[in-house]
Amino acid sequence: MPTLTTSGRAPRPRPAPGRVLRNTVLVVTSLIWALPTWLLLVNALVPAADYSGEPHWWPQGFGLFDNISQAWTQAELGPAMGNSLLYAVTSATAAILVATMAAFATVIMPVKRKTLWFWLIYSGTLLPLQVFLRPLFLAYAGTGLYDAQFGLFLVYVAIAVPFAYFIMRNFALTLAPEIIEAARMDGASWWRIFWQIHVPLSWSAMVAAFVFQFVAVWNDLLFGITLSTSSNIRPVMAALAELQGNYSSVGPPVVLGGALLVSLPTVVLFFSAQRFFVSSLRLHG
């Protein structure tokens, strides 16, 4: 029987040392992870005219909207964000569709050498992207794809497919094979099984893969500055990098204000998709 205190209530159990240590590590790790974001916000708030050249750790005035306005005008962020939105949505959608088809073929359909097909497709993620820059630049310059939206679209689809395939293949491995066997016994074709059974069951994984690839394409800088030069073609990170090279004219607070602005679409997409993930888990649970 538990010992009662003078107030007649049982004393609260002390937290285990392991739990306290775990919570402390989580809090410290979270603070370290949030530190760059804090510095971004604080220095983006500083009016450009009042910036002394040293980073601020605490808010010094409020010039965020003026900084964003200057970044929007001087870097032409409006057209650049439109370009990145076009690239991210179309290339991520195409990559997810291709990856879902590949996962269906190598997991659900009776094909030979499934492991070999997996490594052939997934190997696209094993090499650093920098090794593709020079050959792509030379090939694009000789074929007319340089500084063209379709050229960037092709690159983004190509680099997005391997990781999207990794996600979709792992998800396809968790699906019950009895569903496909029953559909085949009823005379359904592979094409019908893919669109009417596999895609609806894989919808949550497709959304997760889409979010990953959208963020990757939106944040791309290497291919944007290598394969485009025109303001109506270049993605938003290339435009922001050009603004960052003009410290003497705009100042770091303007650059940080622009960086804060261009990060908003990915943040909004992430939280919107997070709600979808929860609803999908409840639906399939």
Count Cβ atoms below 10 Å from residue 159 Cβ, excluding itself. 21
Name the one residue in this structure whose structure tokens are 């983006």.
Answer: 44
pLDDT in tens, 178-217: 888 888 888 888 899 999 989 998 888 899 899 999 999 9
Contact 13, 219 (CB under 8 A): no
**Fold type of domain 75-284:** MetI-like fold (1.10.3720)
pLDDT(120) > 80: yes
- Of 268, 266, 263, 251, the closest CA to residue 71 belongs to 251
Contact 207, 44 (CB under 8 A): no
Rounded CA separation 224/227 (Å): 6
pLDDT(283) > 60: no
pLDDT in tens, 16-73: 667 778 888 888 888 888 888 888 888 787 887 777 777 778 877 787 888 888 888 8
